[in-house]
Amino acid sequence: MLRWKERDQVEVYDVVAYRLQRCLTVPNLLESIDMTLCKHLLCLYISDPDAECVHSVGLQGNATQWPVSDEPHGLSVNAAHNVLVACRLVGKIKEFSPRGDLLRDVTLPDDVVNLFHAIQLTSGQFIVCHGSFLRGDPVHRVCTVSANGHEIVRSHGGQRGPDTGQCNGPTYLAVDNNEFVFVADEWNRRVTLLSPTLNYIRQVVSRDQVKWQPGNLYLDVRRRRLYVGEEEWSNEYDSYIAGRVVVFSV
């Protein structure tokens, strides 16, 4: 679990009893938006928009960071163990080696506005989600994008709304081994399951099962558990003021 504080920002819990095991401190972390794990290298990656960098943290606590030169948002690790960084404001996916070397820069079509998260499929294509409720974007979608980033192959969503074919702030994705897609639909307060062709299947988490806005997901494929990070938004403070992780069997 990732918390916004000066020290011990990463809390490590047991997956059976959910007991706190230990904490890791990330030096020079200004703002934490997302965290992902490379199971192969046993390394955590944390995006820091304020510093425009990604922090790399070993499980023994050793930490480094590398510049992104844009504000990073959602993170994922592809089959080559490289880090994919969704750069929200410029509509780009940047691929970095585990050491922080920039390998390529994928520019998405102009109508992909406010990119939140991207995952690379085995085909080389990307699943991405975009559209911000807080910034008033009219289009909120989950899209399959070609490997070179030039073409939207298929999409789910469009005009912002609450219907089954619509999204309202799709902020995070998880993809299982068969490439079914879980979507955190933040302002509709639900998690939606889509087919590999992005057809609607069902809601796996409804608004009655969450307390606040679901903004992050982690899918444990082996245990068939979906970890949903949800946060409480305050209009008074114009920020998130509380959060928790809820675990669902899928």
pLDDT at 217 over 90: yes
Q: How far is CA 190 from CA 93, 139, 148, 207, in A?
A: 26, 18, 31, 5
Does residue 101 sit within a domain?
no
Does residue 91 sit within a domain?
no
Domain of 143, in residue numbers? 108-249
Q: Kindly report the backbone phi and psi dihedral angles of residue 247, in degrees, each rounded to the nearest multiple of 5, phi listed first.
A: -110, 130
Q: What is the pLDDT of residues 86-142, one digit of tens each?
A: 999 999 999 999 999 999 999 999 999 999 999 999 999 999 999 999 889 999 999
For the entire predicted model, the pTM comes to 0.95
Does residue 231 sit within a domain?
yes
Distance CA 155, CA 144 (A): 6
Q: How far is CA 22 from CA 19, 40, 148, 152, in A?
A: 9, 21, 41, 43
Does residue 58 sit within a domain?
no
Does residue 14 sit within a domain?
no
CATH code, domain with 193? 2.120.10.30
The β-bridge partners of 155 are 143
Q: How confident is residue 198, by pLDDT bands cut at 50, 70 and 90?
A: very high
163 contacts: CB under 8 Å, gap ≥ 6: none
Structural domain count, the chain? 1
Q: What is the pLDDT of residues 32-49, one digit of tens each?
A: 999 999 999 999 999 999
Mean pLDDT of 201-213: 96
Does residue 18 sit within a domain?
no
Does residue 152 sit within a domain?
yes
Angle (nearest 5°) at CA 158 between 154 and 164: 95
Does residue 55 sit within a domain?
no
